[in-house]
Chains A and B, each alone.
Chain A
């Protein structure tokens, strides 16, 4: 068991003082006292600090303090700039396995750390409890953590230790990062935008768009620095959401304005499309290798090397584009126009957000049901793609308008849709992958003597992906039937009928 105390660093408490406060037979032995410069690491979306974990990196050493359980782990190695798989196995790494595999760890703050360790001893000089004391200094702020750890079989000694500490200091309550004024960024790619059900839908649409433009922009630095692939992914998802609002919120903007905005945001996204495709291929690299026999891996080596090279080149172009003044002005102007409600209104702009959202969601839901209802074994792939697009639109609508409806119910509906969507998404990915692999082969120089190897690998891969796609297709009917239950139907009508 551990007890953890957050203390102001200027509190007069020190390990020595605790030792002095002990009475016989107990004494305190300080075993470690070090001062070092450390970096606090976390992912861009604060996965670690939001769960109370402080990952600290000093020269060639990692320290993990779990401020909730009071456990401390340490191992050799570095983690700056690395995703989970890049960190060497060790006691720290084994504590952060829940970390997203796609997110890299980045330095949030560079601090000075004084680290002291001590043992509480009995008259046989046996350790009966342990103390870890950390003083953090960041800019002009400082704060300290004191962790008292009990040892098995020495419970009464631990009570003495706890009482001693409590007689000397009081817990500061506030979290360490708050006291140190360290900004973890509070990045959230999926926020619920606060909406007023009675407000004009034009207002709500602008609020949603402004939020997602902001999220997209938060990712620019990460894309430019090429920290991990999630920055580009989130950037594109956010802009896609903006485009969805523009196209799905029919009549909110004038038809000319809708056309113009659609084009403007499509143009913004166009430059990053291929880079994202390449990221996906490179992330799936191991999976592709596992799909075909090792005798055909030479061809895959050639293909992936070509992808890597193309990605490196393309990243330079994207980086340049995002740093470009014109791009900045363009996206800033769009954001400003949106926030200032300057886009031209359409005929439906005044509708209440609640009424508008109900009819938009119900209409889309009915559309999904009518297409899915006609799907059978012989349905062409095009129709399945269409179903996927409508499902996606339905999902976006429900997510945009979540704050307007009872949270529990709408989450149930989103969840029931998600299973079907995942299935459709995989089906689509497999289809896109086959097409682009065929394109790669088609564009491969015929004169190159490696073409046979490449053709052999890609041929095998396409056959395999085609087989997997058929498997996915078989699942779609079953998943739709799950989604199409009477309860779901009732809940949809109940939740989204404008009278309610």
Chain B
């Protein structure tokens, strides 16, 4: 089993769209996939029409393995299940921080569903917190969407610094350019510069596209309704780059 985290310490970078579409692509490639919606502001559950789980109470999320597994719901697509966010996850980080040995709690919970899934994809909240530290430890790969702007450049730098300070494995980080507007000079210049600075950037980029915006109307992954468009193809290519690292 591989754990893949989709993470950004900055909001509004297309993180949830990435999680939803990569999870769908993985499932389509035949991997039994579980998408965990850990972001209280995120909406991966919404995109799959799955209602927030009532079963998952804050107290029991990492403690009670049975409750964790019974909150999992099938999506409408083959090989793809979801762990929907519960609004009480909002204070999740504080909760985790209070717990002793919190670093290993996430791992324990994930272990319970280990044998059922080939891929566990975590849609993470956009901050550096106890939860994200947990994620950095357990994930095999961390996919980071980056909008090619100066501000995003800084947050990426912060992430690498954080990894260095905490001695996390930097090679886990797989950044890629998200919401790219090719016609913008700023975007293309930033991309050029960042690729030089961070050779780990994936080749394919996700354009800023109305197809992604329409996810809210369709309430489905882009690949299901605009599979032939460049955006959908780009998600598939990103999935293939991740697969190559297995």
- Listed in ascending order, the chain A residues whose CB lies under 8 Å from chain B are 119, 124-127, 151-154
Contacts and interface: CB of A to CB of B under 8 A. Distances in A.
A119 B74 CA distance: 13
B74 A152 contact: yes
B76 A153 contact: no
B73 interface: yes
Contacts of B49: 124-126
Nearest to B84: A153
Contacts of A127: 74, 76
B123 interface: no
A152 B76 contact: no
Interface in B21-57: 48-51
B236 to A, nearest CB: 21
Contacts of A153: 70-74, 81
Contacts of A126: 48-51, 76
A126 B76 CA distance: 7
A393 to B, nearest CB: 51
Interface string B153-174: 0000000000000000000000
A152 B51 contact: no
A87 B219 CA distance: 38
A152 B81 contact: yes
Contact of A152 (B48, B72, B219): B72
Of A151, A152, A154, most B-chain CB atoms within 10 Å: A152
A151 B80 CA distance: 11
A154 B76 contact: no
A127 B74 CA distance: 9
Interface in B180-208: none
Contacts of B72: 152-153
A125 B49 CA distance: 7
Contact of A151 (B51, B71, B74, B219): B74
Contacts of B48: 126
Contacts of B73: 151-154
Closest A-B pairs by Cβ, 8 of them: A153-B73, A126-B49, A151-B74, A152-B74, A124-B49, A127-B76, A153-B72, A152-B81
A127 B219 CA distance: 13
Interface residues of B, number: 12
A146 to B, nearest CB: 20
A124 B51 contact: yes
Nearest to A125: B49
Contacts of B51: 124, 126
Contacts of A152: 72-74, 81
A4 to B, nearest CB: 19
Nearest to A127: B76
A464 to B, nearest CB: 40
Given A127-B76, A151-B73, A152-B72, 11 more contacts: A124-B50, A125-B49, A126-B48, A126-B50, A151-B74, A152-B73, A152-B74, A152-B81, A153-B70, A153-B71, A153-B72
B38 to A, nearest CB: 17
Interface in B54-112: 70-74, 76, 81
A344 B50 CA distance: 81
A303 B191 CA distance: 64
A154 B48 CA distance: 14
A152 B32 CA distance: 13
B55 to A, nearest CB: 9
24 contacts: A119-B76, A124-B50, A124-B51, A124-B219, A125-B49, A125-B219, A126-B49, A126-B50, A126-B51, A126-B76, A127-B74, A127-B76, A151-B74, A152-B72, A152-B73, A152-B74, A152-B81, A153-B70, A153-B71, A153-B72, A153-B73, A153-B74, A153-B81, A154-B73
Nearest to B55: A153
A409 to B, nearest CB: 42
Interface string B224-238: 000000000000000
Of B71, B72, B76, most A-chain CB atoms within 10 Å: B76
Contacts of A124: 49-51, 219
B153 to A, nearest CB: 39
Of B48, B74, B76, B219, most A-chain CB atoms within 10 Å: B74
A364 B11 CA distance: 85
A467 B83 CA distance: 60
Contacts of A154: 73-74
A231 B209 CA distance: 62
A90 to B, nearest CB: 11
Contacts of B70: 153
Of A124, A126, A151, A153, most B-chain CB atoms within 10 Å: A153
Contacts of B71: 153
Interface string B109-141: 000000000000000000000000000000000
A151 B72 CA distance: 10
Contacts of A125: 49, 219
A152 B73 CA distance: 5
A153 B55 CA distance: 10
A151 B71 CA distance: 12
Nearest to A119: B76
Nearest to A151: B74
B52 to A, nearest CB: 11
Nearest to A149: B74
A154 B84 CA distance: 13
A153 B81 CA distance: 9
B29 to A, nearest CB: 14
Contacts of A119: 76
Nearest to B48: A126
Nearest to A126: B49
Contacts of B76: 119, 126-127
A126 B80 CA distance: 14
A119 B73 CA distance: 16
A125 B70 CA distance: 22
A98 to B, nearest CB: 22
A127 B78 CA distance: 12
B151 to A, nearest CB: 35
Contacts of B74: 127, 151-154
Contacts of A151: 73-74
Contacts of B219: 124-125
A126 B50 CA distance: 7
